[in-house]
Structures are given as structure tokens and as C-alpha cells.
Amino acid sequence: MKKLRRILIVTLFSLLVILPDIAPAFSQLSTTVSCEVRDVDNDGYADIISTATDAYGGPQVGVTIEVTPDGSPRSLYNGSTDSGGQLVFEDMPPGNYTWSSSVGIVGSVSINSSDYPIEVSERVAFWLWFMAFKSNATDGEKGRYLLQAIANYARYSEPLPPKGSSNNETAKLLMPWM
């Protein structure tokens, strides 16, 4: 009987010692992450809202979310949930996106250009094209995805030319496309 009591006491003490170390692993297992598309700030542009909650529906702080446009080799948008358990990616271009979280939950969302129509003047359209071209010529992939998003929005069916071996070559390939 004394031996059984001693084993019980040692076991309970061991659990008290290791429980704080393993508790975060259990809390991550019960984390729920979801993403949806809405215009959070009512500016007419689509936003992707990520929400992380614990098993009791409370906010889960610090969950990292990465958003990758379909066809992109890497994520272009990322961040961590705030004290309210939310992360908002504002003013996202139309397209399909895959998202992943640091707790292993993944999903996808779509932004349809007809749900968030944008009306711009010819001057604004010109500057958008110029910025997309300039971004592509100096920054690489983000500019290409911006151009593709604009082309998709405008229902322009001509595919983007392949990326050149240098920024200058890429710029030369894009000129006829635009």
C-alpha cells in the first residue's frame, strides 16, 4: 500500500512538473483557423480576414498566416493574428489564394472581380500599368502577379510572357504584351 501511494505521489508530482511544458502543444491542437473574403473597411476593395480561435472560441494570438496566389512559387502575404485573434490582408486583387497557418491548418479563398468592381479613369489605369511594369522590372514576382491580376480583372486573355533572364529582357518581353 505504501509503495502504491509512493508511485501515485511521484506520478502526480511528475505531471505537475511536465504539464506546463506540454500544455502549449495541446492548445495548438485545439486551435481553429478560418479565412474569408469581405470588405472590412468598406472601401470597395476585397480583404482576406483570418481568424484564429481556441477550443472555447477565444482569440488565439500569434498564429502566423501565409497567403499564396495560385501559381506563385511562394507566399506573397504573411503576418500573425492580433490580440483579437484576427489578421486582415487589405485590398487584395481578384484571384484564387491558398492560405496556410503555423498550426497546420490550410485552406483557400477566391476573390471574384465582379464582386468588387473598380472603376478607374484612363489616367489611373495608365499609372496602374506603369507601376505594375516598373515593379516587374525591378522587384520580380510581385509585379508579375499584379499584372496578371489586372489582366484577369480586365478579362484580357493573352498570357503573360515568360520572365526573361534579366530585368531588361523581362521589360522588353512585357512591352508588346501591354
Single pTM value for the model: 0.56
Asked whether residue 116 is assigned to any structural domain, the reply reads no
Domain membership flag for residue 85: yes
1-40: per-residue pLDDT in tens? 677 677 767 666 666 666 555 555 554 458 999 999 999 9
Instruction: Look at the chain and report how many structural domains it folds into.
Output: 3
Tell me the residue ranges of DSSP E strands in 56-163.
64-69, 77-80, 86-89, 95-101, 106-111
Let me know whether 23 and 77 are in one domain: no
- 35/107 same-domain check: yes
Residues 17 and 54 in one domain: no
Q: How far from chain centre, in Å, is Cα 90?
A: 10
Round to whole Å and give the CA distance between 172 and 164: 9
Report yes or no on 134 lying in a domain. Answer: yes
DSSP assigned state of 78: E
In a domain, 55, yes or no: yes
Do 14 and 37 belong to one domain? no
Grid cell for residue 122: 484612363
Asked if 112 and 93 count as a contact pair (C-beta separation under 8 A), the reply is no
Residues 39 and 83 reside in one and the same domain: yes
Q: Are residues 37 and 81 in the same domain?
A: yes
Query: Can you give the residue range of the structural domain that contains 98?
Result: 31-111
Q: Beta strand 77-80 with 106-111: parallel, antiparallel or unpaired?
A: unpaired
Position 140 confidence tier, pLDDT thresholds 50, 70, 90: low
Based on the fold, state whether residues 48 and 106 are members of the same structural domain.
Answer: yes
**How confident is the model over 35-94, as pLDDT tens digits?**
999 999 988 889 999 999 999 999 999 999 999 998 888 888 999 999 999 999 998 888
Do 100 and 81 lie in a common domain? yes
The answer to whether residues 26 and 41 belong to one domain is: no
Give residue 147's identity as a one-letter amino acid code. Answer: L
- Which neighbouring-strand residues pair with 77? 67
User: Does residue 145 sit in helix, strand or coil?
Assistant: helix
- Rg over alpha carbons for the chain, rounded to the nearest Å, is 24
- Res 27: pLDDT: 47
Give the up-direction half-sphere exposure of residue 56: CA atoms within 13 A in the CB hemisphere.
2
104 and 135 belong to one structural domain: no
Q: In this structure, what C-alpha cell is assigned to residue 152?
A: 484577369
Structural domain includes residue 90: yes
For residues 170 and 136, is the Cβ–Cβ distance under 8 A?
A: yes
Q: What is the pLDDT of residue 30?
A: 86
Candidates 33, 140, 162, 44; CA nearest to 94 is 44
Q: Are residues 17 and 85 in the same domain?
A: no
Helices 141-153 and 122-139 sit at what angle, rounded to 10 degrees? 150
CATH code (residue 85): 2.60.40.10
Task: Examine residue 95 and state whether it is found in any structural domain, yes or no.
Answer: yes
Q: CA-to-CA distance for 144 and 148, rounded, in angstroms?
A: 6
